[in-house]
């Protein structure tokens, strides 16, 4: 439940509210597919800003959005994951 800044084909830079309003910001950003990308998510009070590789994808005042919750990473599909150390 709450806002999620999505990543993945068809979703890069979009802002979605799980179990709520659905797609809040529908602006996909192009990425470097075989390289590193910089994803920045800033949430202060009602203000949410999502930046991908220096391009602003979402910048909104969202009085309907949650003011507290859990910060988490979620994996929907794909193979096993591992940390940068290889474990």
Give Dmax (Cα) for the chain: 41
| Residue 22 within a domain | yes
| Residue 66 within a domain | no
Sheet holding 2-5, edge to edge: 2-5, 15-18, 22-25
Which residues does residue 18 pair with via DSSP β-bridges, in sequence order? Answer: 2
| Residue 85 within a domain | no
| Residue 77 within a domain | no
Residue 10: per-residue pLDDT: 86
What does the pLDDT profile of the chain (87 residues) look like in tens digits?
788 888 888 888 888 888 889 999 888 888 888 888 898 999 888 899 999 999 998 999 988 888 887 777 777 777 777 766 655
Domain count, the chain: 1
| Residue 32 within a domain | yes
Which domain does 37 fall in, by range?
Answer: 2-61
Residue 36: per-residue pLDDT: 87
Residue with the two structure tokens 């800033």: 42
| Residue 37 within a domain | yes
| Residue 81 within a domain | no
* Alpha-carbon torsion, ordered 18, 65, 30, 80, to 10 deg: -40
């Amino acid at each position: 439940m709450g806002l999620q800044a999505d990543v993945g084909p068809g979703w890069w830079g979009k802002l979605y509210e799980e179990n709520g309003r659905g797609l809040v910001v529908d602006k996909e950003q192009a990425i470097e597919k075989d390289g590193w990308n910089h994803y920045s998510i800033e949430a202060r009070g009602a203000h949410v800003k999502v930046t991908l590789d220096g391009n602003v994808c979402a910048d909104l005042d969202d009085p309907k959005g949650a003011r507290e919750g859990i910060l988490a990473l979620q994996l929907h599909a794909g193979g096993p994951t591992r940390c940068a150390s290889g474990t």
